[in-house]
Amino acid sequence: MKSRRADPFSFAVARAIEVTLLVPWFDFRDALLPCWALPGCSRSRGASDRVLDRVAHDGEPPRLRDTVDQGATLAVLALGMALLGAWPLSAAEPVALRFESFCVTPAHLPSAVVVVANHGQGPYQGVLQVKAPEGWLLSPDRQEVALGPGETRRVAFAVKRGLTREENSYLLEASITGGGTTVTRAQQVAAASAPYFKPEIDGKIDDWGDAIPVTWISGGKKTVVSTYWNRRQFSLLVAVEEDRLLPRGAAPATGCDAVQVAISPEGAATGRSADDEATRFEFLFVATGEGTGGKCFLLAEPGMKLGEGQKLRPLGPLAYDDAQVAVSRSGGMSYYECAIPFKLLGNRIRPSEGREFRLSVLVHDPDGTGIRDWGEAAGLDSSQRNRLAWSLWPGAQWGDQPPLDNKTTWGLCSSKY
Amino acid sequence: MKPRSEAWFSIGMALAVPAAAALSIHSASQATAAERGDVVLRIVMVEDEDDDPAAAGKKAAEMLTRQMGDAPLRAVIISECFEDREFKEKLIAGVCSVLPKNLVMGGATYGSFTQEGCTDFDSVCLLGIGGKGVGVSARLVENMGTSKLAFETDQALIERRLHAAGRKLAQALRRTDRDRLAIVIADAHSPKNQFLVEGMQQVLGNDFPITGGCANKNAGQTFVYFQGEMHEDAAVALMLSGEFRVALSGRQANENDRVIATAAEGAAEALKKAKGNPLGVLAFNCAGRRSKLKRYEDELAAMQKALGSELPLFGCYCAGEIGPVDDPVAASDALSGGSGWHVMFTVIAQ
């Protein structure tokens, strides 16, 4: 089990210092910087506000169209997943709990990993218990946990018997009792895993039926991420429900639609200082507007100073033509089909069955929902917002707050069968 | 036992069963007159560094032939990790250019390990089973009808079909009063493998030693080998009979330190239980366990601590393992079962 220090107060101070230090790096004359990257910013209306307005005015949430072979049940469950994904820590709770995504489907016996964070100033000791869906068997089902002040630890419960569900969403509950207090967290957990497959990156999505899609709803719109791997490539299909697809350069005033993906090795952490080094590979995928044309930009690589990603660099020199991209549109969905060669990732993430790593996805939908952050649906908490986790780029429209960290659990598996 | 010629061999016929319309059985056997004498187990492993799978297969087969010496070869179990059918075909052709095709059985795996080390991509490992003290009956069941069924939607159908396939496989094996061990290599990704084992146990009994592994389940890579031919949606079983004994153990883990510790524990337990002089060890290991290791070699080193570094060791990384299931919370009265995240050891002793 791994542990790390996570003191929100220290982080907040550090972030304030970093913002001050970063200010001279920006060229404000042309840059469209997010307000959270600027000193003295005030909240402005963001995508979530717009969505709330829309729900209130219409009287009911927007209807979801099913275009990627997902049922209405899935949409409702995914919405629940997103809602339950909010970190429940309150001032009175001594610790915070969160489940990581499964690395393989439950039938293939993953571990249910609970991240326990002691946000208090003193040591914490308690007994952690996990309640799994009916028919599952965990071993053990409870464990003692001792944490120092500010310490975070991953506690694994082996799934001895698990039942895979087609909707890929599982309600688990963790509770920890210590010092006379019990903290409980219920969370919809998905299996975030890439089966082995060699898809054609051609703008057709019929290759993706053997993937294990993760779905979440943000601003009333569905996003579905499917992944595959093979010895040569890591591939993604990001299906974005949106009213229209804005290719790069189509509407400079509003920015363009895009998918931003960060991939990091297991055990990597995101720094909190601009001088820290990036641990991620970060990609931006956009539509070119010509047929199913798409373009990939490599925004960050391990070793880059995190502050570099906060500059508004021209995208041209960051073009990464070794990646394959096709962007298509069908039935109210935009499909970003992408393949990243392991020759780039391979010295950090070995392409092999069962390999665990970290991945997250931001969807940019500037004329719709704004930013959609997989980190929210995966259960990351607000203390994990870190502007250094994602690179800025010209044309992006950011929300009121920085996105969540770019590291959620993901796995390479053999097959869903 | 009926008297048999020194090299007895037959090719069987197709049978149909109601549960899976096209379920078919093929057979092959190599046995000795009385299966008395030495049992010889030899293992070779070759990594292809020249993008020439045929040459790698040929080289491995030639090495095995040399190592077997004068011992009559009864069967060869192959564990290979080449990518895509084209390269697998070339590899098998290379192996069968040296070894009798009808003796070559096995499956695509995620890699192999022996006393020499661990491999993954572009490698082949051969286990030669021979000597006058062992007989081998091998059977193939095809068209099991489960390779593209998912557990969440088709569990009952998978159970029914794999029970039927397991029963057919076991019923087709030539049986003697000296049967000691069934080795199964199947396209039955964990947790499906439990149903296949249960089907076999309906014929062989719950206490009969069964071990084995499930073929690589990566899309386009799933093959089992029978008489040098590639088969999908199939399972092969080898019944080893003769003057030897087997001892089995199984351990489950999915975290680095526990993977290493359980490898040592499982190997030590099987060796301790073995009666007689240990001749070799089979280790059907989980590819998922390997992925949890910081260094692949650490698990092998732990096994070697228990087994020593001289005893022939045939290991492969699978998509599900067959042997004694390590599950204290759901104990079974059967000696073997099918599961995942396991390493299943069998020590063969005489």
Calpha distance A26→A313 (Å, rounded): 10
For chains A and B, count residue pairs whose Cβ atoms are closer than 8 Å: 89
DSSP secondary structure letters along A251-265: -TTT---EEEEEEEE
Q: Is A187 helix (H, G, I), strand (E, B) or coil?
A: strand
Element (H, E) at B282: strand B278-286
Residue A108: its chain B contacts at CB < 8 A? 190-191, 288, 340
Among the listed ranges A58-72, A401-415, B107-121, B240-254, which one has the minimum average pLDDT value?
Answer: A58-72
Residue A379 region by backbone torsions, left for phi larger than 0, else alpha for psi between -120 and 50, else beta = left
CB of B136 within 8 A of CB of B63? Answer: no
A280: contact with B, CB 8 A cutoff: no
Average pLDDT of span B43-49: 97
pLDDT band at A14 (very low <50, low <70, confident <90, very high): very low
Nearest to A236 by CA among A384, A367, A98, A345: A345
Q: At CA A390, angle to CA A386 and CA A392, rounded to 5?
A: 115
Tokens of A95: 């610790």
Residue B287: its chain A contacts at CB < 8 A? 352-354, 414
Tokens of B161: 């079909």
Out of A161, A195, A230, whose CB is closest to B330? Answer: A161
pLDDT band at A22 (very low <50, low <70, confident <90, very high): very low
Q: Over chain A, what is the mean pLDDT?
A: 82
Nearest to B228 by CA among B112, B123, B89: B89
pLDDT for the residue A53: 28
Nearest to B182 by CA among B278, B261, B75: B75
Question: B52 to chain A, minimum CA–CA distance in Å?
Answer: 18
CB of B225 within 8 A of CB of B125? Answer: no
pLDDT band at B241 (very low <50, low <70, confident <90, very high): very high
Question: A158 to chain B, minimum CA–CA distance in Å?
Answer: 8
pLDDT for the residue B220: 94
pTM for the model stands at 0.83
List phi, psi (to 5°) of B199: -60, -45
Q: Is B195 helix (H, G, I), strand (E, B) or coil?
A: helix
- Which tens digit of pLDDT belongs to each residue from A81-134? 444 433 444 556 889 999 999 999 998 889 999 999 998 899 999 999 999 999
Out of A137, A166, A354, whose CB is closest to B287? Answer: A354
Calpha distance A106→A193 (Å, rounded): 11
pLDDT band at A33 (very low <50, low <70, confident <90, very high): low
Q: CB B350: neighbour CB atoms within 10 A? A: 18
Average pLDDT of span A151-168: 92
Residue B219: its chain A contacts at CB < 8 A? 195-198, 210, 415
Tokens of B76: 């060869």
DSSP secondary structure letters along B114-142: ETTEE--TTEEEEEEEESTTEEEEEEEEE
Element (H, E) at A240: strand A233-241
pLDDT for the residue A229: 97
CB of A201 within 8 A of CB of A326? Answer: yes
Calpha distance A6→A11 (Å, rounded): 8
Is the preceding peptide bond at A140 cis, omega within 30 degrees of 0? Answer: yes
Q: Which residue has the tokens 């939607």?
A: B153
Q: With pLDDT > 70 as the criterion, what percentage of chain A qualifies?
A: 78
Q: Is the dihedral of CA A132, A403, A350, B185 positive or negative?
A: positive
pLDDT for the residue B332: 84
pLDDT band at A254 (very low <50, low <70, confident <90, very high): confident
Element (H, E) at B346: strand B342-349
Q: CB A44: neighbour CB atoms within 10 A? A: 10
